[in-house]
Protein backbone atom coordinates (compact mmCIF):
# COMPACT_ATOMS: atom_id res chain seq x y z
CA UNK A 1 0.00 0.00 0.00
CA UNK A 2 1.35 3.42 -0.96
CA UNK A 3 0.52 5.74 1.90
CA UNK A 4 2.00 9.02 0.57
CA UNK A 5 -1.38 10.34 -0.62
CA UNK A 6 -2.78 10.01 2.93
CA UNK A 7 -0.02 11.99 4.67
CA UNK A 8 -0.30 15.52 6.04
CA UNK A 9 3.41 16.45 6.16
CA UNK A 10 3.41 18.33 9.45
CA UNK A 11 5.77 20.90 10.96
CA UNK A 12 4.38 22.62 14.06
CA UNK A 13 7.39 23.08 16.32
CA UNK A 14 7.79 26.48 17.97
CA UNK A 15 11.32 26.83 16.60
CA UNK A 16 10.40 26.05 12.98
CA UNK A 17 12.62 27.94 10.54
CA UNK A 18 11.59 29.21 7.12
CA UNK A 19 14.08 26.90 5.42
CA UNK A 20 12.43 23.92 7.13
CA UNK A 21 8.97 24.94 5.92
CA UNK A 22 10.28 25.23 2.37
CA UNK A 23 11.96 21.82 2.61
CA UNK A 24 8.72 20.22 3.80
CA UNK A 25 6.91 21.76 0.83
CA UNK A 26 9.54 20.43 -1.58
CA UNK A 27 9.28 16.95 -0.06
CA UNK A 28 5.48 17.05 -0.16
CA UNK A 29 5.47 17.95 -3.85
CA UNK A 30 8.07 15.32 -4.69
CA UNK A 31 6.20 12.52 -2.92
CA UNK A 32 2.68 13.82 -3.61
CA UNK A 33 1.56 14.01 0.00
CA UNK A 34 -1.96 15.18 0.81
CA UNK A 35 -0.92 18.43 2.47
CA UNK A 36 1.68 20.41 4.35
CA UNK A 37 0.34 21.27 7.82
CA UNK A 38 1.73 24.38 9.53
CA UNK A 39 1.03 27.11 12.02
CA UNK A 40 -0.77 30.15 10.63
CA UNK A 41 2.33 32.31 10.31
CA UNK A 42 3.66 29.97 7.60
CA UNK A 43 0.50 29.66 5.49
CA UNK A 44 1.44 32.24 2.85
CA UNK A 45 4.86 30.68 2.40
CA UNK A 46 3.39 27.20 2.04
CA UNK A 47 0.78 28.35 -0.48
CA UNK A 48 3.47 30.01 -2.56
CA UNK A 49 5.80 27.00 -2.38
CA UNK A 50 3.04 24.55 -3.31
CA UNK A 51 1.76 26.59 -6.25
CA UNK A 52 1.17 24.44 -9.32
CA UNK A 53 0.94 21.19 -7.33
CA UNK A 54 -2.00 19.17 -6.00
CA UNK A 55 -0.65 19.33 -2.43
CA UNK A 56 -2.88 21.33 -0.09
CA UNK A 57 -1.96 23.84 2.59
CA UNK A 58 -3.36 22.90 6.00
CA UNK A 59 -3.27 25.30 8.97
CA UNK A 60 -3.83 24.59 12.65
CA UNK A 61 -6.22 26.73 14.68
CA UNK A 62 -6.56 27.04 18.46
CA UNK A 63 -3.44 24.94 18.68
CA UNK A 64 -2.49 23.05 20.79
CA UNK A 65 -4.86 23.61 23.74
CA UNK A 66 -8.15 24.64 22.15
CA UNK A 67 -8.96 26.73 25.20
CA UNK A 68 -9.37 30.19 23.70
CA UNK A 69 -12.59 32.06 22.96
CA UNK A 70 -14.57 30.69 20.02
CA UNK A 71 -14.50 34.07 18.26
CA UNK A 72 -10.72 34.06 18.42
CA UNK A 73 -10.57 30.58 16.86
CA UNK A 74 -12.96 31.66 14.13
CA UNK A 75 -10.90 34.76 13.37
CA UNK A 76 -7.70 32.70 13.24
CA UNK A 77 -9.34 30.27 10.84
CA UNK A 78 -10.68 33.07 8.64
CA UNK A 79 -7.23 34.65 8.34
CA UNK A 80 -5.63 31.31 7.48
CA UNK A 81 -8.18 30.63 4.74
CA UNK A 82 -7.79 34.15 3.36
CA UNK A 83 -4.06 33.44 3.17
CA UNK A 84 -4.75 30.33 1.12
CA UNK A 85 -5.23 27.40 3.51
CA UNK A 86 -7.48 24.72 2.03
CA UNK A 87 -7.83 22.76 5.27
CA UNK A 88 -8.08 23.81 8.91
CA UNK A 89 -7.14 21.52 11.81
CA UNK A 90 -8.79 23.01 14.90
CA UNK A 91 -8.57 21.90 18.51
CA UNK A 92 -11.96 21.60 20.17
CA UNK A 93 -12.55 22.96 23.66
CA UNK A 94 -11.49 19.90 25.64
CA UNK A 95 -12.29 21.32 29.07
CA UNK A 96 -15.87 22.01 28.03
CA UNK A 97 -16.10 18.46 26.68
CA UNK A 98 -14.95 17.12 30.04
CA UNK A 99 -17.65 19.27 31.68
CA UNK A 100 -20.26 17.71 29.40
CA UNK A 101 -21.04 21.10 27.81
CA UNK A 102 -21.61 19.61 24.37
CA UNK A 103 -23.74 22.49 23.09
CA UNK A 104 -20.75 24.76 23.75
CA UNK A 105 -18.35 22.34 22.08
CA UNK A 106 -20.57 22.07 19.01
CA UNK A 107 -21.00 25.84 18.75
CA UNK A 108 -17.24 26.33 19.10
CA UNK A 109 -16.62 23.95 16.19
CA UNK A 110 -19.44 25.42 14.11
CA UNK A 111 -17.99 28.92 14.42
CA UNK A 112 -14.73 27.70 12.90
CA UNK A 113 -16.52 25.71 10.20
CA UNK A 114 -18.45 28.81 9.17
CA UNK A 115 -15.38 31.04 9.24
CA UNK A 116 -13.33 28.52 7.25
CA UNK A 117 -15.57 28.10 4.22
CA UNK A 118 -14.78 26.87 1.61
CA UNK A 119 -11.88 25.14 3.42
CA UNK A 120 -12.51 21.80 5.12
CA UNK A 121 -12.24 21.54 8.90
CA UNK A 122 -10.70 18.69 10.88
CA UNK A 123 -11.55 18.66 14.59
CA UNK A 124 -8.83 17.53 16.98
CA UNK A 125 -10.54 15.89 19.94
CA UNK A 126 -7.33 14.94 21.84
CA UNK A 127 -8.32 11.35 22.51
CA UNK A 128 -5.77 10.78 25.28
CA UNK A 129 -7.69 13.21 27.50
CA UNK A 130 -11.14 11.69 26.90
CA UNK A 131 -12.89 8.47 27.87
CA UNK A 132 -14.57 6.40 25.17
CA UNK A 133 -18.01 7.91 25.70
CA UNK A 134 -16.55 11.42 25.43
CA UNK A 135 -14.69 10.47 22.23
CA UNK A 136 -17.96 9.32 20.65
CA UNK A 137 -19.82 12.43 21.79
CA UNK A 138 -16.99 14.63 20.47
CA UNK A 139 -17.21 12.95 17.07
CA UNK A 140 -20.95 13.47 16.99
CA UNK A 141 -20.60 17.15 17.95
CA UNK A 142 -18.05 17.63 15.17
CA UNK A 143 -20.36 16.00 12.65
CA UNK A 144 -23.36 18.11 13.69
CA UNK A 145 -21.21 21.24 13.45
CA UNK A 146 -20.32 20.51 9.84
CA UNK A 147 -16.72 19.35 10.16
CA UNK A 148 -15.18 17.22 7.41
CA UNK A 149 -12.89 15.15 9.64
CA UNK A 150 -12.31 14.18 13.24
CA UNK A 151 -8.69 13.88 14.33
CA UNK A 152 -7.14 12.00 17.21
CA UNK A 153 -4.42 14.21 18.60
CA UNK A 154 -2.30 17.34 18.55
CA UNK A 155 0.85 15.36 19.21
CA UNK A 156 1.55 17.79 22.07
CA UNK A 157 -0.36 16.01 24.86
CA UNK A 158 0.21 12.78 26.75
CA UNK A 159 -0.33 10.31 23.91
CA UNK A 160 -0.94 10.20 20.18
CA UNK A 161 -3.01 8.00 17.89
CA UNK A 162 -3.97 4.44 18.79
CA UNK A 163 -5.61 1.75 16.70
CA UNK A 164 -8.42 1.49 19.24
CA UNK A 165 -9.23 5.19 19.08
CA UNK A 166 -9.19 5.30 15.29
CA UNK A 167 -11.51 2.30 15.14
CA UNK A 168 -13.86 3.88 17.69
CA UNK A 169 -13.92 7.19 15.83
CA UNK A 170 -14.57 5.50 12.49
CA UNK A 171 -17.47 3.60 14.04
CA UNK A 172 -18.84 6.87 15.44
CA UNK A 173 -18.79 8.77 12.14
CA UNK A 174 -19.25 5.92 9.66
CA UNK A 175 -18.37 7.00 6.12
CA UNK A 176 -19.78 10.47 6.64
CA UNK A 177 -16.54 12.09 7.89
CA UNK A 178 -12.85 11.46 7.48
CA UNK A 179 -10.74 10.26 10.39
CA UNK A 180 -7.24 11.64 10.81
CA UNK A 181 -4.71 9.82 12.97
CA UNK A 182 -1.83 11.88 14.31
CA UNK A 183 0.75 11.84 17.06
CA UNK A 184 3.40 9.18 17.63
CA UNK A 185 3.26 7.64 14.15
CA UNK A 186 6.88 6.70 13.65
CA UNK A 187 6.95 3.89 11.09
CA UNK A 188 5.14 2.70 7.99
CA UNK A 189 3.76 -0.44 9.63
CA UNK A 190 1.88 1.56 12.25
CA UNK A 191 0.68 4.09 9.67
CA UNK A 192 -0.71 1.30 7.50
CA UNK A 193 -2.36 -0.34 10.51
CA UNK A 194 -4.07 2.96 11.34
CA UNK A 195 -5.37 3.22 7.77
CA UNK A 196 -6.68 -0.33 8.01
CA UNK A 197 -8.36 0.55 11.33
CA UNK A 198 -10.30 3.34 9.64
CA UNK A 199 -8.05 6.38 9.26
CA UNK A 200 -8.32 8.29 6.00
CA UNK A 201 -5.49 10.72 6.72
CA UNK A 202 -2.20 10.46 8.61
CA UNK A 203 -0.59 13.44 10.31
CA UNK A 204 3.15 13.06 10.83
CA UNK A 205 6.27 15.19 11.01
CA UNK A 206 8.34 12.32 9.62
CA UNK A 207 6.41 11.66 6.44
CA UNK A 208 9.56 10.81 4.50
CA UNK A 209 10.44 8.05 6.95
CA UNK A 210 6.94 6.63 6.71
CA UNK A 211 7.18 6.09 2.96
CA UNK A 212 10.78 4.83 3.02
CA UNK A 213 10.33 2.08 5.63
- Active-site residue numbers? 89, 151, 180
| Residues 148/121, Cβ–Cβ less than 8 Å | yes
Q: How far apart are CA 87 and CA 46, in angstroms?
A: 12
Torsion sign (Cα): 177, 118, 89, 54? positive
Q: Are strands 87-91 and 56-61 parallel, antiparallel or unpaired?
A: parallel
Mark 88-101 as b/e (b = at least 16 C-beta within 10 Å). Answer: bbbbbbbebbeeee
Measuring CA to CA, how many Å separate 103 from each of 74, 96, 97, 138, 173? Answer: 17, 9, 9, 11, 18
DSSP for 177-203? SEEEEESS--SHHHHHHHHHHT-SEEE
Amino acid sequence: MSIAKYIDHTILRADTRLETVKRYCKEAKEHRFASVCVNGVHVKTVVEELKGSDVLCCAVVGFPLGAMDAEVKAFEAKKAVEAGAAEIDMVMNIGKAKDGAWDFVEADIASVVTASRPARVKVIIETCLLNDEEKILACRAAERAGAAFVKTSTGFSTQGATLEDVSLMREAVGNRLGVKASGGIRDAAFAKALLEAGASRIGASNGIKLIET
